[in-house]
Structures are given as structure tokens and as C-alpha cells.
Structure 1
Amino acid sequence: MDYYQILEVTRDADVATIKRKYKELAQKWHPSLHADNRSEAITKYREVTEAYEVLSQARYRVIYDQYGITGLKKGASNERGEKVGGDYQFISDPDEVFRDAFGRNPFTEFFDFSQVTPSEAKGIFTEFAQMSIPPSKEKAKPVIHDLACSLEELYLGATRRVDYEKQILQADGITTKTEKETATIHIKKGMKLGDEVVFPGVGNVAQNEIQGDVIFRITEKKHPLFKRKDSDLIYTANVTLGQALLGTIVKVTTLDKRILSIPVNEIIHPGYTQIVKGEGMPMHQAPPSTSSLAFSPLPTASSSTSPSPKAKESKKGDLIIRFEITFPEDLTEKQKELVAEAGL
């Protein structure tokens, strides 16, 4: 929708010219004169009135001229990143707008309203009311990206900056273009495969749509030492046959670079595991995380249901140690004698 084209004026037209053309077109398209195509007339009359309402008021016109109809109705960011516009919706009675401008109904000077029956008048005003209510809009499909994270990032928490693309409306309010953005993503401790970081209302948008979300979905990179199962970590220790029989100490370097020395005093048999309580992944109980975008003044959101930092630190899964026993390829005669003496 181009307000200047609707009023048939140039972009540098002054307020007097805009008002004169508005009067001319409002009288031309008043539905009372278009019994055969009243629906079209109501649309035209509404568009003419909306165009006049915007272009005759400097505070709306300056936003429209710089940011288009999208900036006018939904808002936009200026060069300093501040939000401008977004406070205009056309909900006015077109006849009221005309009366405010000229002090009378657009047709009282040459149309006899005494000839209009009450039911006809009611029908006209009902149609105006329906046209003034903005149509319901569906939310645009979200922009979804996988976010591959290391186990270290999911254990310690991390902040990542990720580039992505979205479709946005151009200044004409109709066509779209691709825009590149950068998101600052806060990865919470204990997040896992399938968890999502959601940026609401900053994704794709097209004509007659509510702006969609941007979603980053957590995936997990393969780790050389650990496997993850929910909030537990699984570590496989390699031991010799002698260690399996006589006991040993297993040293494990954790994801936060601590070294655990874990004594194993029982005989290690195939399938044997040892559990170290509280040395697994942090338990992330919060709902999907919402973060702030680098290009937007939106604050970084936090969940009121998230546990306190101390509570988070105290709730971890377990470290499960599995064992692989390395058998000797051969034994010396002396070793065989010793094994025989031991009755093994």
C-alpha cells in the first residue's frame, strides 16, 4: 500500500494539497454512491481515509517516509538501534475523519441522506466497522538452525555468536528480502540434545503475517572420552588383567579439567561398572532458553523457574565408569606357574 499513490499526490505534496485530494477522493468513493459495488467502494474509501490520516500528520508521515508501512505499524530500528514507530493502526470511522477535517459528512452538500433507510444506513456503518478491524494474522514459520555444542560447552555453559538469515518486508510492505543477522546465544549448563534457545518475534515476516521466531536447536558433538546419557557421563577405562584382579586406581580428567583418582578395590569382571555420584552433567531443569540478539535492544531473558546457581551446581548426574580388560597375548613359564599356584 502506497499512501501517496492512493491520494494521487507526489511525495513532496504539502498538507493543503493532501487535504484537497482527500476530499475529492472521499466524495468519489463514498459507498452511498456505489450500490452496485459497495464492497469495492468501502475498501477504496477506507484506503483514502487511512492515507490522509497518515500523510496529514507529521509524526506519522515522517516515520512512513523513512521506514514504510511496516515501520509505521510494527516499528523499526533507527541508526542508533532505538525503536521508532509501531504505534499506528487504522481503526477510525472514515466519516468521522472527514467531519474532523471539514466539519461535515462528505456528502451532505449534494447527497440527500433522508432518502437512506435506517437499515441501509446501518448496513453501511456495519461494513465500515468490519473494514476497520485489522484481519487476523498467522505467525510466520520460525527460522530453525542446529547449534552443535561440545560436551565442555554444555557442562560449563558458554556464549556463542551465530550468523543466520531471515526474510523481512521491504519498505513497500509487500515484497521481502533476505537479511543477515547475528544472534548472541547463551548456552545454559546442562542443556542437552533437542533443547532450544528461542528468540521470539525476530524471525521471518511477510505481508499479513506476525513476525516469527528464531530457534537454535542444541545438538551434541562427539567427545573423545565421554558419552552422555541424559545427565550421566559414561567413561571407559582400559585396565590390564592384573589390575582387574588385584585392584587399581583410575584417573579421569573431567570436563572442567579436574583430575579424579578413583580407587577400584573389587575384581573387575566383564560388564562391571563403578559409579561416581555427582560427577556427571549439570541437570538443566529450566524451560527453553530465550536470549537477546546482537542487533536488537531486547534484554537477555532469564527464567523465573530456573534454580539458583548454587542449586544448579549441587544437582548433577553421575559418572559411570565401564572397563575394558586387556588380556596378555602370551605368558612366560614362570607366569603360568604362578597362575596355576593361585588356582586361577
Structure 2
Amino acid sequence: MKTYKDFFGTTSPYADLMDYLLDPPPLYDLPEGKGMCKKQPPIKHQLYLTLHEIFFGGVKKMKIQRLEYTGPEKTKTEIREKILSIPIKPGIRPRTEIIFPEEGDQNPAHISADIIFITEDKGHEHFVREENNLVTEADITLQDALLGTTITVSTIDHRLIRIPITDIVCPGYKKVVKGEGMPILETPEERGDLVIKFNVEYPPYLPKISRNLMQRAFYLAKIGGGRNQEMINKMVLADKIMRVDPVEQLPPFE
């Protein structure tokens, strides 16, 4: 058997009336009569932030125009400008809503709307934000991709860091530099990572001698497999001996 509460959500048929008496809704009072004030729907604005603003945090000021009361009687309004100070926490995430309660137009017939700023990341010339990480790209030659190099990166906080690349840069390879990304919102003393992707520049032409040398190098790498350094050293030494002029070779030991 269903009870009164099952249908109406309360045990008393007078609950709504008691709520109205104890916490009455605001009313407006005009010469034309009285009425119940309703709150206007929120006013939403996009707030675009640069990666530098997100990294360092601070306060961003925005100018708005709204209707404000012209006197204490609160019956007449006029358009005025107001500056809102928006707090930006380091590492603030996209789509974060920052709310300024009842900062919309003032009107005796309604409750002012909330103004809501919704954050969005602005594009950057060198970095793309992925969660707490920063992604960038570096151009290197094929020689550097195979033999290793050191690249210089200007960080988001205006420092120059030198990063050694010791691995072979193959398609899809990424170099991760710990702690050089964006501040983490909950723990701003910690940071995400810097992720470097590579664009390998290939030479437009290779002379035949260079092709032969590269072919020999790839062959040695293939048969050596990198598993036995001593064997590779012996093969390199044997290759050098084979390329010595026979006239310059020492006679065999007897």
C-alpha cells in the first residue's frame, strides 16, 4: 500500500506551505503591483587563456556592462561598466567554470543572473597541451636521428634546456623530459612532462660512396644485432684490415 510520502515525497500535506511561510520567495514592489522575483538564467562567456597564463596563474580582469540601480530606492537602472577580477590557478583545466553570483543586470522585477566564465586554452606557437603534459616538435637530420645529437628547447617558463638524444629516432619515437610540463592543479609544486616528437629531414641526394658506407654499416648492425659488443669490435677491426693497401700490410708471422 502506497503512503502519502510515496506520492508527494513528504509525510505532511502542509510541508510546502510551511516552507513558503518560513522561507518566502523574494518579491518585487512596483507602482503596478507586487510580484514574485525569479532569478534570470546564467550568462556564460568563453575565457581564453594563454599557456603562459595557465602556467603562472594570477588574476585576469574582465570588463562587463550591466544595468545597475541609480539610487537606494532601486526602481531605476542605467548601463554601467564593472571590472571583474577572475582568479586563475596554475594548471587550471579547460572547461572550468568560474562563477560570479548575481553580477548580471539589476532589475526590481527579477534576481540578477550569475555570470559564468568558462576557460579555454589558446593555441601556442610551439606547444600543445595534453592534460598536464606539453608536446612540442623538433627537426633533426637523418644523421642525427641515427647517430645521436643534442637539441635545445625553450621551455614554457622561458628557460633554455639542452636535451641529449642517444636513442635511434625511429618513426613514432618520443623523448619524454620529466617535470617540464604544466603545473598540476591539485599539487602546483609538481609538473607534468615535456614530450618531444621528431621530424627527420632526409638528404635530397647521397653519393654512391656514402650509400656503400651506409650499406656496410647497416649490414654490420644487422649481423651483430647489438647483442655482442666484442664481436662487433672484431668485425670493425677486420673491415679496417681488409681496406688496408696490400703493399702496406705486414708479412704473415712465421
Q: TM-score, normalised by structure 1?
A: 0.50
**Cα–Cα, structure 1 residues 189 and 249, in superposed 2: closer, same or farther, change >3 Å?**
same
Q: 2:25·2:37 contact (CA, 8 Å) conserved in 1?
A: no
Q: Which has the higher helix share?
A: 1
Q: CA deviation at 1:134?
A: 4.5
- Equivalent residue number for residue 184 of structure 2: 283
Unaligned stretches of 5+ residues in structure 2: 1-20, 28-35, 220-254
Residue-by-residue CA offset, 1:200-256 (whole Å, 9 max, x unaligned):
232233333222222222122110100011111111111111111111112211111
| Stretch deviating more after TM superposition (164-173 or 190-199) | 164-173
- Equivalent residue number for residue 335 of structure 1: 210
> What letter corresponds to residue 156 of structure 1 in structure 2?
F
Q: 2:91·2:188 contact (CA, 8 Å) conserved in 1?
A: no
Residue-by-residue CA offset, 1:72-127 (whole Å, 9 max, x unaligned):
xxxxxxxxxxxxxxxxxxxxxxxxxxxxxxxxxxxxxxxxxxxxxxxxxxxxxxxx
1:202 maps to which of 99, 103, 123:
103
Instruction: Say if 2:62 is the partner of 1:162.
Output: yes
- Equivalent residue number for residue 8 of structure 1: none
**Cα–Cα, structure 1 residues 170 and 267, in superposed 2: closer, same or farther, change >3 Å?**
same
Residue-by-residue CA offset, 1:294-337 (whole Å, 9 max, x unaligned):
xxxxxxxxxxxxxxxxx421x22111111111111111233222
Instruction: Say if 2:200 is the partner of 1:325.
Output: yes
Counterparts of 1:138 and 1:193, CA distance in 2 = 31
> What letter corresponds to residue 137 of structure 2 in structure 1?
T
Within 5 A, what are the aligned runs for 1:90-101? none
Counterparts of 2:174 and 2:26, CA distance in 1 = 64
- Equivalent residue number for residue 221 of structure 1: 122
- Equivalent residue number for residue 185 of structure 1: 86
Instruction: Say if 2:173 is the partner of 1:272.
Output: yes
State the Cα RMSD in Å. Answer: 2.5
Q: 2:57·2:91 contact (CA, 8 Å) conserved in 1?
A: yes
Counterparts of 1:231 and 1:248, CA distance in 2 = 27
**3-state secondary structure, aligned to 1:235:** strand
1:151 maps to which of 42, 51, 59:
51
Counterparts of 1:143 and 1:179, CA distance in 2 = 17
Within 5 A, what are the aligned runs for 1:60-209? 134-135=26-27, 137-169=37-69, 171=71, 173=74, 176-209=77-110
Q: CA deviation at 1:151?
A: 0.6
**3-state secondary structure, aligned to 2:188:** helix
- Equivalent residue number for residue 113 of structure 2: 212
- Equivalent residue number for residue 236 of structure 1: 137
Q: TM-score, normalised by structure 2?
A: 0.66
Counterparts of 1:205 and 1:143, CA distance in 2 = 13
Percentage of pairs with the same residue: 32
Q: 2:65·2:80 contact (CA, 8 Å) conserved in 1?
A: yes
**Cα–Cα, structure 1 residues 339 and 134, in superposed 2: closer, same or farther, change >3 Å?**
closer
Unaligned stretches of 5+ residues in structure 1: 1-128, 286-310
Counterparts of 2:168 and 2:26, CA distance in 1 = 75
